[in-house]
Structure 1
Amino acid sequence: MTDTSETRSADSAAHATQQSRLHRLMRYLPLIAPVLLWTVPCWLLLHTGQHWPLPVTLAGTALFALGLIGMPLAMVRGHGRRQQDWAAIVGDTLLGTIWTLFTWSVVLGVPLRLALTGVGVGDAQDRARIVTWAVLGAATMLLTWGYAEARRVPRVRLLDVQLPRLGAGLDGLRVVLITDTHYGPLDRARWSARVCETVNTLKADLVCHTGDIADGTAERRRAQAAPLGTVQATRARVYVTGNHEYYSEAQGWVDLMDELGWEPLRNRHLLLERGGDTLVVAGVDDVTAESSGLAGHGAHLAGALHGADPDYPVLLLAHQPKFVDRAAADGVDLQLSGHTHGGQIWPFHHLVRIDQPALAGLSRHGTRTLLYTSRGTGFWGPPFRVFAPSEITLLVLRSPQRPPTP
């Protein structure tokens, strides 16, 4: 009979081997992914029975090859040490374009070819060419629409949120949430001003920004962020850091937001009082702050709530939805987050769900805690939003003690 300890050792060794293989695969993923993104649609659209004239095949293949080489180079020059905005724009646009073309080559092209074969449409070459034009047409329409969606001023999403512990004096409190503005290589100063104008029409008591203000330092993106100083709220404007702040001098962004009149809630809280009732408005640094090496930065919920009366309801700002596990354990009433962008370009939604407990909207966690996850106000990287519209969110907080509407 095999000794139990020997069996466990063998199982541990097998698990360690699997983990080692996974880690090796993850290291090679940045090399593998671009190759798949460019070669799969190239093969499906040009080389699987279409029999295009030779110049068409050669020209098309050359374009895909140039994309395969040019996209990573542009991304490195744009987002690496050189931080060249023109290169970032080229690389990001190519990434969004090929992701969309790859997706629809697979989810539309393959089933369409099977369907055409099943009903006997034309010969193999006719079917292959129909699929190619259908995929190119769908991708072009989605990218055109997605670009317009990304660059537009977001629609306002209105939501009533009932908090059982909210006092009647705070019923109807208007909380506006913006997040993930991601000011970056594309100059969006005018867009930023129009977003702030829209926020000001909502007559907010409290305006919140839950991080990822920009890609780049505060000094570099100051002009795009400056309109945030015009945002109006009757009670407070509060801000917490996102993960992208920690890629580009987070303290600089904290200082700039403070200069623009926003109150950075770095593991601290303020009290909002009205009609004899009180709401704790707390904020924490993004979870990535803990590994950033930046002195004094880290996500500390206990510090954020230190000194607050436990009988008061708590509104917490935390950039990433996955912080809700800690929030629920501490009995937070409502957490406001961003980070996910709602997936930004379908079907990236499914990958986001691997890392985060919520993609967008209102969800319940534990017995008390509600989480609202915004799809974001701006966009990151590729200037497209496909089936993931941006938003400015107006949450009206409701108390169960409010008098009934006549």
Structure 2
Amino acid sequence: MLIHIYISRRFIAHLDIKPAQKFYFRIFLLVNFFGIIGYMLGRYYIDFPNWLYFLFSLPIGVLFLLFCTAIIYDISRAILKKTKLSKKRRDFFKRSLDISSLALASTLSAKAIYNASDIKLEKVEVNIKKLKKSYKIAQLSDIHIGGLIDKAFMKDMVQRVNALRVDLVVITGDLVDIEIKRARDILAELGHLKSTYGTFFVAGNHEYFHDIAKIIQTLKGLDIRVLENENVYIGNEDEGFNLAGVYDVFGYRTNTYVPDINKALSTLKESPTVLLAHQPRYIDEVTDSVDLMLSGHTHGGQLFPFMFLVRLQQPYISGLHQHNNELQIYVNKGTGFWGPPMRLGASSEITEITLVPSKL
């Protein structure tokens, strides 16, 4: 509500438009506010039709972009007041600012909605020391089943992954974001994933909100290997790699399903190690025995400039990074989205990661 008030008083009130237009703009803000309430109800309590849920989902993203526009407008208007220009020139620049601000908010909102429907395939090659042969991994993350992430979405995603013909599929958390009884039919589509060594999963923070025990049990029933502070060996003897996984750091708050890196890395074979951990900030607990960490959680910021706030909490936002001499990390921007079906400056992705023997 405070953001709505700010937009009304610091943006709408100063626009050089007719009083009737300002009135309709404020009505739009009011509808936006109730849309956000509708979204929260649909997310957790009421099973709305998809078309209605879509309409309720938009206001959060639209509000965020309007708020950012209002801040830029407010600052620009203050600077314009300080400039030594004639009244005629100042009025001209003020009208230009009004028009460009409204156009910017409208254009960015439309572009963000369009971007959310476009899941890009990101191809990444990672050099791994002591690896003896190449392996291809499909990484999915932050799908957030619920609302607009439905059975049709999952079916299309599974088909795209299967077309890659990978050695294994990994899902790095935040898969389910509704009650498990509402998600089971959608999750069943994951049973159609095809790869040489199977599908592997680690919990994200949102799993803790929706009965993590039942989610894990359901995934195991789909023949998905859930890595619970443990590791498995991928590949033939002496030419494969260790795949380890830990619970999310949210477990520290609940004192249940707590991540344990020492347990996850116990009894490793003398081969490279890939670790699945939902949040990039868990990298501070990772030992030198890990060669590559795969994470998600950040959504790449999802809506610019939100990634600057995410950067305050997470050391990496997206892409491949060399953390130290031994350890690399890849952060998936999310295959789905949370909240509004909008993305700006951070596309949804399916990641095809090829592990290759290092030439060094």
TM-score under structure 1 normalisation?
A: 0.80
Residue type at the aligned position of 1:139: A
The alignment partner of 1:59 has SS state of: helix
Q: Which consecutive aligned stretches of 4+ in structure 1 deviate over 6 angstroms post-superposition?
A: 115-121
Which residue of 137, 140, 150 corresponds with 2:103?
137
Give the Cα separation in 2 of the matches to 1:165 and 1:214.
36
TM-fit CA distance, 1:60: 2.2
Residue type at the aligned position of 2:267: G
Say if 2:288 and 2:326, in contact at 8 Å, map to a contact too.
no
Q: Does 1:387 align with 2:345?
A: yes
TM-fit CA distance, 1:325: 1.1
Distance 1:133 1:49, change over 3 A: closer
Residue type at the aligned position of 1:195: M
Give the Cα separation in 2 of the matches to 1:165 and 1:215.
38
* Structural RMSD (CA): 2.6
Q: Does 1:73 align with 2:40?
A: no
| Alignment deviations for residues 259-312 of structure 1 (CA, whole Å, 9 cap, x no partner) | 222100111111112374231101111111232354xx1111111122213x32
Distance 1:396 1:46, change over 3 A: same
The aligned residue for residue 210 of structure 1 is 172
Give the Cα separation in 1 of the matches to 2:172 and 2:84.
51
Give the Cα separation in 2 of the matches to 1:78 and 1:118.
52
Give the Cα separation in 2 of the matches to 1:93 and 1:355.
25
| Alignment deviations for residues 53-111 of structure 1 (CA, whole Å, 9 cap, x no partner) | 3222233233324544x25633553456x355578755542111010111123336744
Alignment of 1:90-101 (within 5 A): 92-101=57-66
Residue type at the aligned position of 1:319: H
Distance 1:374 1:157, change over 3 A: same
The aligned residue for residue 362 of structure 1 is 320
Q: Does 1:176 align with 2:138?
A: yes
TM-score under structure 2 normalisation?
A: 0.90
Distance 1:184 1:261, change over 3 A: same
Which residue of 266, 273, 280 corresponds with 2:235?
273
Say if 2:335 and 2:348, in contact at 8 Å, map to a contact too.
yes
Say if 1:217 and 1:248, in contact at 8 Å, map to a contact too.
yes
Distance 1:205 1:118, change over 3 A: farther
Give the Cα separation in 2 of the matches to 1:124 and 1:49.
14
The aligned residue for residue 313 of structure 1 is 272
Kindly indicate which of the two structures has a greater share of residues assigned to helix. 1
The aligned residue for residue 309 of structure 2 is 351
Say if 1:109 and 1:131, in contact at 8 Å, map to a contact too.
no
Distance 1:179 1:192, change over 3 A: same
TM-fit CA distance, 1:365: 1.9
The aligned residue for residue 60 of structure 1 is 25
Unpaired runs of at least 5, structure 2: none
TM-fit CA distance, 1:372: 0.5
Give the Cα separation in 1 of the matches to 2:358 and 2:255.
44
The aligned residue for residue 31 of structure 1 is none
Give the Cα separation in 2 of the matches to 1:49 and 1:286.
47
Give the Cα separation in 2 of the matches to 1:119 and 1:199.
59
Residue type at the aligned position of 1:145: K
Give the Cα separation in 1 of the matches to 2:355 and 2:60.
40
Give the Cα separation in 1 of the matches to 2:291 and 2:149.
37
Distance 1:101 1:307, change over 3 A: same
Q: Does 1:326 align with 2:285?
A: yes
Say if 1:285 and 1:298, in contact at 8 Å, map to a contact too.
yes
The structure with the larger Rg is 1
Aligned length: 357
Q: Does 1:48 align with 2:14?
A: yes
| Alignment deviations for residues 157-181 of structure 1 (CA, whole Å, 9 cap, x no partner) | 1111001132x2xx22101101101
Say if 1:113 and 1:131, in contact at 8 Å, map to a contact too.
no
Give the Cα separation in 1 of the matches to 2:313 and 2:209.
19
Q: Does 1:235 align with 2:235?
A: no
Say if 2:319 and 2:330, in contact at 8 Å, map to a contact too.
yes
Give the Cα separation in 1 of the matches to 2:161 and 2:338.
21
- State the identity as a percent: 27
Residue type at the aligned position of 1:99: F
The alignment partner of 1:261 has SS state of: coil
Distance 1:302 1:319, change over 3 A: same
Say if 1:322 and 1:357, in contact at 8 Å, map to a contact too.
yes
Say if 1:180 and 1:376, in contact at 8 Å, map to a contact too.
yes
